[in-house]
Amino acid sequence: MTFKNPQQFFKDILSSGNKIDILTREEFINFFHSEILENRYKIIDCFLPFLIDKEPELCFTLIYDLKKYEDKTLALLKRIIGTYNLSKKELTYILYNLPKGKEILLSALENHIISYSNNNLLLTLILNDLNHNEDLLSFFKNNKNLSIRFSFMNNIALKRPELFSSIFPNIIENIFYIDENNKKEYISMDNLSNLACNLSKTPQNKEIYEQLKSFLYKTYPKNNIARNLIREKNEKLLLEDLDNLYQTSFDCNIEILKKYENYLSKDIIGNLKKNYELFKRTPYHLQNIYTYDLDKNLANLINKYLSLSKNKTIKFIGKGTTAACYRIGDFVIKFILSKHTYNATPRLYLINRVLYEELVKDDYGKCLAGLEVQKYLAKKLSYLDLTAISKYQKLLREEGFYISDSLIKSNFRFLDSYKDADCPDPELLPDCFKKKPLVCIDRDSFEKIKKII
């Protein structure tokens, strides 16, 4: 293809209503760069008015290194920085020749609108010439957005580990910033664990790994170093400090127990080994108990309720998406992973009484883990008793509640006696309930009926 009449060529492109195909684009770019500068200016003056809105990436590629069009280059850069992947040549030109272009890059980084590819290429170019890019280096090193700062540190640890100690000579001083209340805000435990593991891959950064590990031990109740070392198959480093990593592991105690039991101190693994034998039908649910420091309470609950039981049976009952249930003597212990509703479950005679409940919630009220104890109810709802469900729903409506989830037969049991109902005076309960004291054992699905005003 030849471009003897660029203006007509662009008019044809515009009239077609389609984007320029890749082959035509490349052919035109080659043609353009083969022309002398004076002709390039003429071509740009022809096509820019037609294509600056329709093909901003192509326009940028053709004008970015021409001083005459610097203002338009900067305007285009703002538009395309999040979607168009700059070439190494284009980004290098911006860094060395367009101070205002650097400002656009910094703004895009701060506002998370730079593309992943552009961000990675920028980091590579900064690390290749730290002296020239001190302003960008300072932006990443001292950024109050600790996610941005961590990403920069982690990239150095992975791509240019030999530079890490010179850029961050005192690692602990670089993992926090001081907010307006003079309080230190630290990079998250998970990110620091990840960074420590990546630093451990190179011998020259082993000391920094040890510093970060010590910091995590002192600052956070748990960490994810063990999980990351297992993922990287770094058994040598894992086994060097296995007891401490096991005790402070956030979410892989059971995995360590199963793989490395022979390397752990016997007094350390005793409690978990015992619990794992009891609850190994649901290892994820059990790990969740250890993740959120509920294991000591679990041990106390087992001892307490077994001692109160006539029947000493311990067995797995079943699990769903939000909980796993085990019979502990005459009682049931639930390992809770989450709850369908943030609302507190009502105290109601139609719901099996809860004897103990402990929930771990995040800052938004979402349930992360929990333990719950109810009386074990042996008598299930049979097909002969299905009419009891409709009576149950009627009684529930009279109390001002409904079940938002589907009515699953397995979620209902009969109390041994109506006198066990969760209410101040069972004698005042409806006669139909006294005859068949049906209760729900799943407490998450109860909603209050909204009154229409």
3-state SS string over 390-410?
A: HHHHHHHHHCCEEECCCCCHH
Residue bearing tokens 């540190």: 153
Cα(301)–Cα(154) distance, rounded to whole angstroms?
43
Q: Within 13 Å and on the Cβ side, how many CA atoms surround 419?
A: 1
Residue-level pLDDT at 347:
87
- Chain length of the chain: 453
What's the pTM? Answer: 0.80
Instruction: Classify the C-alpha dihedral 43-44-49-54 as positive or negative.
Output: positive
Q: What is the DSSP string of 214-256?
A: HHHHHH-S-BSHHHHHHHTT-HHHHHHTHHHHHHTBSS-HHHH
Residue-level pLDDT at 20:
65
Across the 453 residues of the chain, what is the mean pLDDT of every consecutive 10-residue run?
56 62 73 81 83 88 93 96 94 95 92 90 92 90 92 93 94 93 94 97 95 97 96 95 96 95 93 93 95 94 96 93 94 91 77 95 92 95 79 93 78 94 95 94 84 59
Residue-level pLDDT at 39:
82
Q: How far apart are the first and last CA of the chain?
A: 74
Q: Which two tokens stand for residue 313?
A: 């049976």
